Amino acid sequence: MCAHDVMAEGNAEKDRQTGRKMEKSHDNAQHEADQNGDEAEPNFSDPEDYVDDVKDDELLGDILKLRPQKAIGSDSVIVVDNVPNVGQDRLPKLKNVIRRIFSKFGDIITEHYPEDNGTTKGFIFLEFSSPANAIEAAKQMNGYRLDKTHTFAVNLFSDIDKYTQIDDKWEPPNPQPYKDFGNLRYWLQEADCNDQYSVIFDGGEKTAIFLNTSSEASVVEERKQWTETYVRWSPQGTYLATFHHRGIALWGGPKFEQIKRFAHTGVQLIDFSPCERYLVTFSPVIDMRDDPQAIIIWDVRTGKKKRGFHCESAAHWPIFKWSHDGTYFAKQSPDMLSIYETPSFGLLEKKSMKISDIRDFAWSPADNVLAYWVPEVNESPARVTLVEIPSRKELRAKTLFNVADCKIHWQKQGDYLAVKVDRYTNKNKKVSLWNFELFRMREKQIPVDQVEVKETITAFAWEPVGSRFCCLHGEAPRISASFYKIHEKGKVELVKTLERKQANCIFWAPTGQFVVLAGLRSMNGTFEFVDTADMTIMNVTEHFMATDVEWDPTGRYVITGVSWWSHKVDNAYWVWSFQGRLLQKCNQDRFCQLLWRPRPSSLLTEKHLKDIKKNMKSYSKQFELKDRMSHSKASKELIEKRQQMLDEFNLFREKQQERYEEERQSRIDLRDGLDTDCMFSVEEEDEEVIEFFVGEEVIEVNEFEGE
pLDDT in tens, 547-595: 999 999 999 999 999 999 999 999 999 999 999 999 999 988 999 999 9
Cβ neighbourhood burial of 619 (10 Å; 0-12, 13-18, 19+): exposed
Give 58's pLDDT tier (boundaries 50, 70, 90).
low
Write down the pLDDT at residue 146.
86
Q: How far apart are the C-alpha atoms of 260 and 250, rounded to whole Å?
A: 5
Range name among 270-279, 383-392, 418-427, 453-462 with the lowest pLDDT average: 418-427
**What is the predicted pLDDT for the residue at 50?**
67
Helix (H) or strand (E) run with residue 219 in it: strand 218-224
**Main-chain dihedrals φ then ψ at residue 588, nearest 5 degrees:** -85, 140
pLDDT of 172 > 50? The answer is: yes
Q: Write out pLDDT tens, residues 448-493.
A: 999 999 899 999 999 999 899 999 999 888 899 999 999 877 789 9
Q: What are phi and psi of 560, to 5 degrees?
A: -115, 145
pLDDT of residue 2: 43
**pLDDT score recorded for residue 73:** 60
The residues pairing with 266 across neighbouring beta strands, listed in sequence order, are none
Query: What residues are paired with 111 via a beta bridge?
Result: 126
Task: Give the separation between CA 438 and CA 434, rounded to whole angstroms.
Answer: 13
- pTM score of the predicted model: 0.70
**pLDDT of 46 higher than 80:** no
Mean pLDDT of 22-42: 50
CB 339 within 8 A of CB 328: yes
- Give the closest residue to 406 by CA, choosing from 420, 424, 425: 420
β-strands 457-462, 328-333 pairing: unpaired
Q: Which residue intervals of 663-692 are DSSP H helices?
A: 664-670
Question: Please, which residues have CB within 8 angstroms of residue 203's CB and are 6 or more apart in sequence?
Answer: 564, 590, 592
Contacts of 461 (CB under 8 A, 6+ apart): 409, 469, 470, 471, 506, 507, 508, 515
**Where does the pLDDT of residue 130 fall: very low under 50, low under 70, confident under 90, or very high at 90 and above?**
confident
Percent of the chain residues topping a pLDDT of 90: 55
Report the sign of the C-alpha dihedral through residues 96, 99, 102, 104, in that order.
negative
Mean per-residue pLDDT for 617-627?
Answer: 77
Band of pLDDT at residue 122, cut at 50, 70 and 90:
very high
Question: Is 503's pLDDT higher than 70?
Answer: yes
Chain mean pLDDT for the chain:
85
Output the pLDDT for position 271.
96
How high is the pLDDT of residue 56? 64
Q: pLDDT category, 641, cuts 50, 70, 90?
A: confident
Has residue 544 got a pLDDT over 70? Answer: yes
